[in-house]
Amino acid sequence: MTLNADIGEGTGTDKALVPYLDWCNIACGAHASDPEHMQETVELMQQHGVRVGAHPGYPDQENVGRISVAMPSDQITEQVSSQVKLLQSMAKVEYIKPHGALYNDMMSDLEVFNAILTAAKRHQLPLMLLAGDFPIHHALAQQLDIALYHEAFADRAYTPDGQLLSRSESGAVHQDVHLIVKQAQLFLEDPPYQIDTLCLHGDHPASVEAAPQIRQLIDC
């Protein structure tokens, strides 16, 4: 099991989180960040030996990529591909993990998922997605020979069907350190499905505070 976090989004918590991470998902300038900040983030991750993944999102910094943007499939592919390519000019990118609304749309809309798979195929990179019972997603990825990394969220609430509860809903993000650690422990000790990595969000203080305890649980 590994620990990952979304990084380089201007939250000011990257330095506090990085010592506990295995993988980092670096914002690629669309929903957050810019080339200068991306380079600084890459250097910080390299100092700590953290593996780098691209974290592309909808081009909407005003809403931090958390609102769906209507665009045709080929445009989604090009958006993801161009953001990955920008990060590849700075670091060895080892996988792709979409951000925010693009991630949610990928899990709920197979047209969006296929568009992102096409970008992953272009760059020959694995794709990170929500761990759970999503057989069609797995079949489509297998058809294109795209490896999948399955992630669970220690600090997010889930819906009964295994999707993430929308951030617009109350309680979508856990604010209690004990609850975050407990949820991580449940995923580690009794995973309901294949889980390769746990995710924390650096934009919430409780998640940052929980990171050392979760790292300890993983390393036990």
Mean pLDDT of 131-136: 97
Percentage of residues in the chain having pLDDT higher than 70: 100
Per-residue tokens: 136: 């069609």
Q: What is the per-residue pLDDT for 9?
A: 92
| pLDDT, tens digit, 9 for 90 and up, residues 187-197 | 999 999 999 99
Instruction: Report DSSP state, residue 18.
Output: G
Q: Which fold has domain 2-219?
A: TIM Barrel (3.20.20)
Q: What is the pLDDT of residue 199?
A: 99
Looking at the predicted structure, is the pLDDT value of residue 10 above 90? no
Question: How do residues 87-113 score in pLDDT, each as one tens digit?
Answer: 999 999 999 999 999 999 999 999 999
Contacts of 95 by beta carbon, 8 Å cutoff, 6+ apart = 23, 53, 54, 125, 126, 127, 128, 149
Overall pTM surpassing 0.85 (yes/no)? yes
Domain spans of the chain, in order of start: 2-219
Q: Torsion over CA of 92, 96, 102 and 103, rounded to 10 degrees?
A: -140
For the segment 134-154, the average pLDDT, to the nearest whole number, is 98
**Confidence (pLDDT) at 211:** 98
Q: What is the pLDDT of residues 24-54, one digit of tens each?
A: 999 999 999 999 999 999 999 999 999 999 9
Instruction: Give mean pLDDT, residues 191-206.
Output: 94
> What pLDDT, on the 0 to 100 scale, is given for residue 193?
95
Residue 11: what pLDDT? 87
Q: What is the pLDDT of residue 137?
A: 98
Predicted confidence at residue 178, as pLDDT, reads: 98
pLDDT score at 203: 84
Dihedral (Cα; 97, 187, 189, 181), 10-degree rounding? 110
